[in-house]
Amino acid sequence: MKIGFIGLGIMGRPMAKNLIKAGHELIVNDHLKENIEDVVKAGAKAGSSIAEVAAESEVVITMLPNSPHVKEVVCGEGGVLSVARPGLIVIDMSSIAPLTSQEIAKACAKKGVEMLEAPVSGGEPKAIEGTLSIMCGGEEALFNECVSLLKCMGADVVYCGASGAGNTTKLANQVIVAVNIAAVSEAFMLAKRAGVDPNRVYEAIKGGLAGSTVLNAKGTMMLANNVKPGFKIDLHIKDLNNAIDTAHSTGAPMPLTATVMEMLQNLHKDGMGQCDHSAIAKFYEKLAGDTLY
């Protein structure tokens, strides 16, 4: 299939390469030339503009940082919809606000373009392996049409509901991840201050009810004083902002998310926005005047 791929960051590059490996013909674009060159080496064609990518593709996939970027690339001047013909499919795999995703889907529908939202979870390692969790929102018939394409990039590809439901599911995911990272930090620091080595705590609890992917993947980073991203604090702030906005408009209570948001904002102010989100542990280290490593 002829696929346009726009957005070749840490996640987009390996996802595009997995589509090439699966035999698809890719035309790609990114704001950084080196990102385009990297994927061209893997077999893609460079598109000189977003409009060129859209004009030459049956499906356009976008993988961008946040709501405004997707709106600009799809609906903006010289964007996908400026050249799109009816029947084109847009799959937005970015993590954006559910309401913005719904707006973009409506703008697409006016031009006869179908849009599926398909945000992902699992980070760079699972993007490389092609084993991402992919949470889809839009028409179920469109989901069924796209699922085999998405399975080139993901292991769990789940239909969550109408437009907005994929991004809402991603926000729920991000709430659990952020709060659980903070919970592990809080528990490790409790042990450390009480004189118990957090490495022993990790060994003793990982097989019980406290066990989680966060404990294994992020808890071990805390114990090694490793803040290399992975998934950046500034991106998690973006997601929790979207989660809290959604909660305010729907009446969902967010006491824990709001508290962890304060931790992330404090770390951002300290210049740690580009650190991995496991650096939430640094908030606890600062307050306790102690370290976990």
Report 271-290 residues binding its own copies (CB under 8 A).
284, 287-290
Which of helix, strand or coil describes residue 154?
A: strand
The nearest distance, CB 270 to its own copies, in angstroms, is 16
Rule CB under 8 A: say whether 250 interacts with its own copies: yes
Task: Give the integer Cα–Cα distance in Å for 115 and 139.
Answer: 8
**Residue in 196, 224, 225, 228 binding its own copies, rule: CB under 8 A:** 196
User: SS3 for 5-19, per residue?
Assistant: EECCCCCHHHHHHHH
Longest CA pairwise span in the chain (Å): 66
Which amino acid, one-letter code, is at 233? I
Among 31, 112, 197, 225, binds its own copies (CB under 8 A): 197
Determine the interface stretch with its own copies among 11-19, 79-87, 109-117, 178-186 (rule: CB under 8 A): 178-186
Interacting span for its own copies (CB under 8 A) from 6-14, 27-35, 168-176, 220-228: 168-176
Distance of CA 35 to the CA centre of its chain: 18
How far apart are alpha carbons 10 and 260 in whole angstroms? 25
Any contact of residue 91 with its own copies (CB under 8 A)? Answer: no
User: Is residue 230 within 8 Å of 222, Cβ to Cβ?
Assistant: no
Task: Give the separation between CA 158 and CA 161, rounded to whole angstroms.
Answer: 9
Q: Supply angle C-alpha 181, 211, 204, rounded to 5.
A: 110
Rounded to the nearest whole angstrom, what is the least distance from the CB of residue 164 to its own copies in the complex? 7
- Which of these is catalytic: 71, 126, 170, 192? 170
Does 14 engage in binding with its own copies (CB under 8 A)?
Answer: no
| Residue 171 interacts with its own copies (CB under 8 A): yes or no | yes
Binder of its own copies out of 29, 35, 100, 257 (CB under 8 A): 257
CB of 103 to its own copies, least distance (A): 15
Q: Supply the residues annotated as catalytic.
A: 170
